[in-house]
Structure 1
């Protein structure tokens, strides 16, 4: 089976790198985005770039290429393989994810998350579709909406890291699964505690995978699913409820994403290169329906050069608070929920480097 990691076509990257993007002043960007959103009933699609100010690295840098040129994700068929080869893939995946999940779990919403939450709260953004699996959109609005309302208005296109499911369909809360991994691997629990105490966190990808070198994965234990054991079965084939490369999005999720686009009047895309087809086809669907499309992203995207897609190259964190104020007008100060949201959010991007500072470990 040949499965490749999605990427932006090389012709687009070469064209973008050869051209100089026109600088856009924040005030100009605010006016344009606000004018786009002011009619209401907008759908928003977000990508990894939206979470960068929360300290979560994007996959790709400003030139559209992977920040880690050696990025080698585990594919769906590898993780779910019941053979000894699959066992080795699962040990590698779960050790790295065991160390990488806490920074994602503990990340806090940034100013863009809260600005979008304010637009959702005031119904200018009716549907939000995110490719991110970090749950930060939920965190930004959970104090206003209950779970049912969040599930109705926020679609996690690629799933969520905060839950795990075994091959037989038994769910496990991710924090519970982390405790199971700790109990089964006390030496790695000690190592994880030392990382937290010293702040020497391995380089973490948006999916919670970390970069590790000099590590022996053979002795890492992936525990059996407790629900399977109660049914007299042994199975350690478990995966987070995220869509892996090579895995298909569930039909109900795909259908809902199309429906969300159909029910909106306009589409705003933010912080995404649209390299994955699951997101790119939503853009295509909106254009087939002749809906206005605006793209906010730094660097090349798969949509570059497509007629009818307007693009603004500026970081969302530089403008989105002011966009909300411009959309709502002077009345934004009369809504205490909006006021609180526009005063909330961290701005703590990861180091702007290309050097892996992960600790080298012999285990």
Structure 2
């Protein structure tokens, strides 16, 4: 299945079902306490870490002018495709440091505690920021984290060339810096002054009146050693229009099917790759609880219990109630 541009989520006009933090803690703790729960998370979980969500409380895009690059544009072998890659990598070069330096927030650590205590044996995240990994890295080895946390849409923290050579994103950032000293100086000035650019959840930034034509995308050193000239690089993120690998798709369904309940946190479910997991849970008559501020694609579906409250207000107390 290919990832398509998310559905526009609008309010149905029905009154919101307000709930107090204390009542929400009781409901969530009761839902999670039996264990065997698969958790599905979205951008809302990372907002308190300084990473912007796609949508606000009203379900509308926070940046209505946001125009992501599609997979077919990024992979175009013509000059036009090369220009798209220049645009992507300049904006991503500027946007990656805030994602790299972001720290897990209260929700991430609460989730990590419930993972470690085996109440949430499976976690499927739409986020590409790696904060779930950071939150539990002091408890689990990387190999174990990979088994327990599925990144449905990939990660910003690795990059590969078109011939499959993979490098950590930090190393690729160094290549971009070395190839573009003027932009490296621009980043250094941002860090010195504390100025911040408007970022998107996928590590992109908004730039006005900038030419991308002189931005250098470096060649792959390994390809050069093998006698090939190759400057086609892509982060290990699933772009709009790109197919989710079958092993990831199959595992996401398996994680839902092996659970007894599904807990959905901080997402409008506007992207079908996540919404279909909720649909699958409902087909199997598994209880679904959804915690999100603002309208979602699952609002009003029979079998979905929705709590309109921020995770940062309740999850720490949920952990206390359960553990």
TM over 0.5: yes
Q: 1:39 aligns with which of 24, 28, 34?
A: 34
Q: 2:282 aligns with which of 272, 283, 287?
A: 287
**Equivalence for 1:161:** 156
Structure 1 residue 243 corresponds to structure 2 residue 251: no
**Residue 14 of structure 1: how far off its partner (Å):** 4.3
Give yes or no for contact 1:8–1:301 (8 Å, CA) kept in 2: no
3-state SS in 1 of match to 2:121: strand
> Deviations 1:278-306 (Å, cap 9, x if unpaired)?
10010011111111000000000000111
**Equivalence for 1:304:** 299
Count, aligned residues: 322
After superposition, where does 1:333-344 map in structure 2 within 5 Å? Answer: none
Partner Cα distance (1:22, 1:281) in 2? 24
After superposition, where does 1:87-236 map in structure 2 within 5 Å? Answer: 87-236=82-231
- TM-score, normalising length: structure 2: 0.98
**Residue 225 of structure 1: how far off its partner (Å):** 1.1
Change (3 A) 1:159 1:26: same
Give yes or no for contact 1:49–1:272 (8 Å, CA) kept in 2: yes
**Residue 114 of structure 1: how far off its partner (Å):** 0.2
Structure 1 residue 70 corresponds to structure 2 residue 49: no
- Structure 1: gaps of 5 or more residues: 329-363
> Deviations 1:139-178 (Å, cap 9, x if unpaired)?
0000000011101100011001000011111101100100
Moved more, 46-55 or 226-235: 226-235
Partner Cα distance (1:79, 1:119) in 2? 38
Q: 2:77 aligns with which of 75, 78, 82?
A: 82
**Equivalence for 1:344:** none
Structure 1 residue 268 corresponds to structure 2 residue 263: yes
Runs of 4+ in 1 over 2 A off after TM superposition: none
3-state SS in 2 of match to 1:245: coil
Partner Cα distance (1:116, 1:72) in 2? 32
> Deviations 1:229-277 (Å, cap 9, x if unpaired)?
1111111111100000000100000011111111111000000000011
3-state SS in 1 of match to 2:223: helix
Partner Cα distance (1:207, 1:236) in 2? 21
Partner Cα distance (2:248, 2:270) in 1? 19
**Residue 20 of structure 1: how far off its partner (Å):** 2.9
Partner Cα distance (1:146, 1:38) in 2? 25
Give yes or no for contact 2:11–2:59 (8 Å, CA) kept in 1: no
**Equivalence for 1:6:** 6
Root-mean-square deviation (CA), in Å?
A: 1.2
3-state SS in 2 of match to 1:241: strand
3-state SS in 2 of match to 1:86: helix
- Structure 2: gaps of 5 or more residues: none
Partner Cα distance (2:4, 2:50) in 1? 27
Partner Cα distance (1:100, 1:124) in 2? 34
Give yes or no for contact 1:61–1:299 (8 Å, CA) kept in 2: yes
> Deviations 1:76-107 (Å, cap 9, x if unpaired)?
11011111000100000000000000000000
Partner Cα distance (2:8, 2:320) in 1? 34
Give yes or no for contact 1:267–1:286 (8 Å, CA) kept in 2: yes
**Residue 4 of structure 1: how far off its partner (Å):** 5.6
Structure 1 residue 53 corresponds to structure 2 residue 48: yes
**Residue 8 of structure 1: how far off its partner (Å):** 3.2
